[in-house]
Structure 1
Amino acid sequence: MYLSSILDLWNKKIVAYEFRDTMNFELVTDTLEKAYLKQAPEKGIILHSDQGSQYTSNSYLELW
């Protein structure tokens, strides 16, 4: 199982997470979408990742 999570560094809370049996692009984007819908961030938000292949793919970069 793979866990994708998004941590709000300001308040140290997990704002979204997803579990899957494979680490793929959809796992990452589903987690990001869930966090975005829940938090409704303003422009200028910074997202830091581990720079794995899911985060550096062209499809992921097009989301931003």
Structure 2
Amino acid sequence: MLMNSGNGEAKLHYGASSFRVVRGGNFVRCAVSGEAIQLEELRYWSAEYQEAYATCEIATKRLTAEP
């Protein structure tokens, strides 16, 4: 696992129960709101869509939306 060094936006690979840092940084962006999410605060993501979400409400809405 790579360390999350740097002050910019990180690139992550999202797994079912964890993520791996591909490119160091200290935050990722919510796929819906664009809000910056600090890596230590990241709790919601989709391994299938490789997206991060700022809140459980955003994640639920995104993942239950009809295609």
TM-score (norm 1): 0.26
* Higher fraction of helix: 1
TM-score (norm 2): 0.25
